[in-house]
Structure 1
Amino acid sequence: MNSGFVDRQQVGRRFSRVAATYGEGDFFVREVDRRMQERLDYVNLQPKRILDLGCSRGGSFSGLAARYPAADLIGLDISPAMLAAGRTPRANWQRWLGIGRNGDPLRLAADAANLPLASRSAAMVWSNLLLHWLDDPIPALAEAHRVLEVGGLLMLSTLGPDTLRELRAAFADGYAHTQRFADMHDLGDMLVGCGFADPVMDMEVITLTYDDFDAMLADLRAAGSACAMKARRHGLTGRNAWETARAAYEGMRREGRLPATFEVIYGHAWKAAPKQTPDGRAIVRFDLPRKG
């Protein structure tokens, strides 16, 4: 995938702007998180440290902590405002006594493509609906592989190419109105290319329905999900363009409702033992015979 398409600063601004009220607009993210958590029922792993990439306000923390109570949780996000909004404030008496934060996840403001963590320092990397906000998923996937210990697990979800297809079709002005979304098979290839073993990919289509066009746009804005592509319109969209798009979207109404399609891609992969040294020499392992 070519670089230079996503406005990284705009992504940060979008999510920082909605940080204080994000809990009222992240219902779709939380639903995908719930479905991801269900997939952990089939995973045999007891991680000591979990890294949540793109954690926003920490909506995945409670589910992960309940499932893995002994694990240390680290949340990383590009938006300091999101991280701050997710912290539970302590009462004055708690601050005076220095209590109330023990066991709270560590929150880091950083870039997913440049993780401030040591190699092999996490047993699981969790990433819910982050990758489509990146210009190129490969550096972030490579960093996830680096920080995972051997035998560690990457669990991810992201959005596929059919996402918001109705919105793209409604506008015919030559500008981008949604993010670029990678194909499921391309993501699988990326995982292999970054050194992951046995990637498993699947997808499902979730269709939300709305009474009207403006309600759909309001939900996208509340979730910080407005387009952050460099090819978006940077000035105001004119009244004629809005009315044309609204009329085109109305033509997609089914059973009295307007659809908004989301193609959700799920994936998981493991970090296997390396087969080569960093300088390219093959690693040959000899298993010692069992005694008795």
Structure 2
Amino acid sequence: MQDEYSIDKSRMRQSFHRAAKRYDAAAILQRQVREEMLSRLDVVKLKPGVILDAGCGTGHGLNALLQHYKSAQGIALDIAEGMLSRSRTLFPWFRFWQSKPRFVCADIESIPLATGSVDMVWSNLAMQWCNDLDAALQEFRRVLRPDGLLMFATLGPDTLKELRSASGADHTHVSRFIDMHDIGDAMTRAGFNAPVLDVMHYTLTYDTVESVMRDLKAIGAHNATAGRPKGLTGKGFLQKLRQGYEVFRQQGKLPATYEVVFVHAWTSSQPYTAPGSSPIQLMPRKAGVAV
């Protein structure tokens, strides 16, 4: 039986593709999280040669990273071609200190890059769209070189708790988000060293439920779960949503809570080996022994 929270990647891709042109105007949380992630790099000792922005959106994260690491080359990866098209507009055809980034349309659960080809993987609020967190983290580990850095932010279980409560339990109106401790366990399984995780809560405020839904639509965050209602929700559902959300109104505003999990970890100094495999060690032949 299919998990009702499984993400329909085709629907997700279409949603983000359509939202690309208006994304930046509504991406308030994404901007705040990006600035927090960038501030954490101030204490990180790293001079990456190649940076992968996994789930790059409209490219502002990679643009900021290439300003920070001026000798680095960038790779912008996103599942939606519309997002990549917007990303391309941020970068001139050339800069005197570095070449134009590469743009790759792909799913972060299956990255079409060579093993050990990047020094840093960065991902701002994209991991919550994975169906298989272990697969995505294993791909990050695979493409990273020894002593490489993974830094990402994703959404935790308290995200949109008001909307989840107001919408009821008839369908999966809000995606399921992974707890910080489960993410930490997955990081260890993927082979990352001593992952560091912490949580911050952000609250955006709105006048109406319709404004909440409008912002989610503007950033492409449509309900893409397998258990979503397949027909039109209708006026009855919207009325129920308004009534259910009103209990959360404070000081005249409706809150939308986001739990953001920040993660960073390093790869070991050893080259990547696939799960279940081990490197073959060749012993030197002793002098005078015929083989």
Q: Same fold (TM over 0.5)?
A: yes
Unpaired runs of at least 5, structure 2? 282-291
What is the alpha-carbon distance in structure 2 between the residues aligned to residue 161 and residue 187 of structure 1? Answer: 12
CA distances 1:167-217 after superposition (whole Å, capped 9, x unpaired): 010012511111110000100100100010010000011111111111111
- Backbone CA RMSD of aligned residues: 2.1
Cα distance in 1, alignment partners of residues 126 and 180 from structure 2:
14
Task: Map 1:79-94 onto structure 2 (within 5 A).
Answer: 79-88=80-89
TM-score, normalised with respect to structure 1? 0.89
Residue 111 (structure 2) pairs with residue 118 (structure 1): no
The answer as to whether partners of 2:146 and 2:268 remain within 8 angstroms in 1 is yes
Q: Unpaired segments of 5 or more residues in structure 1?
A: 91-98, 284-292
**Structure 1's 276 and 255: CA in aligned 2 closer, same or farther, altered over 3 A?**
closer
SS at match of 1:157: strand
SS in 2 for 1:190: helix
Alignment match, 1:273: 269
Cα distance change on mapping 1:82 and 1:135 into 2, 3 Å: same
**Tell me, what secondary structure is at the counterpart of 2:230?**
coil
**Are 1:6 and 1:228, in contact at CA under 8 Å, matched by a contact in 2?**
yes
Q: Distance in 1 between matches of 2:86 and 2:134?
A: 29
Counterpart for residue 288 of structure 1: none
Equivalent-residue separation in structure 1 for 2:168 and 2:34 (angstroms): 33
Structure 2 partner of 1:192? 188
Q: Identity of paired residues, percent?
A: 41
Pairing 1:100–2:93 present: yes
Alignment-derived partner of residue 21 in structure 2 = 20
CA distance, structure 1, for counterparts of residue 279 and residue 17 of structure 2: 46
For 1:51, the equivalent position in structure 2 comes to 52
> 2:146 touches 2:272 (CA, 8 Å); kept in 1?
no
* 1:160-171 matched pairs, under 5 angstroms: 160-171=156-167
Residue 101 of structure 1 deviates from its aligned partner by 4.0
- Contact persistence 2:209–2:245 (CA under 8 A): yes
Q: What SS is found at the alignment partner of 1:187?
A: helix
SS at match of 1:228: coil
Superposed, 1:1-292 pairs within 5 Å as 5-88=6-89, 100-101=93-94, 103-274=99-270, 279-280=277-278
**1:47-80 Cα deviation digits (max 9, x unpaired):** 0000000001211022101110000000100011
| Superimposed CA distance per residue, residues 242-261 of structure 1 (whole angstroms, 9 cap, x where no aligned partner) | 10111110121111111100
Deviation, structure 1 residue 226: 2.1
Contact 2:20 2:219 in 1 (8 A): no
Q: 2:110 touches 2:136 (CA, 8 Å); kept in 1?
A: yes
In structure 2, the partner of 1:289 is: none
CA 1:275–1:87: 2 relative to 1, 3 Å: closer
CA contact (8 A) 1:276 1:282 kept: no
Contact 1:178/1:226, CA 8 A, preserved across alignment: no
Q: Distance in 2 between matches of 1:16 and 1:277?
A: 35
Contact conserved, 2:109 with 2:139, CA < 8 A, in 1? Answer: yes
Structure 1 residues 265-284: Cα deviation after superposition (integer angstroms, max 9, x where no partner)? 0000110034996643698x
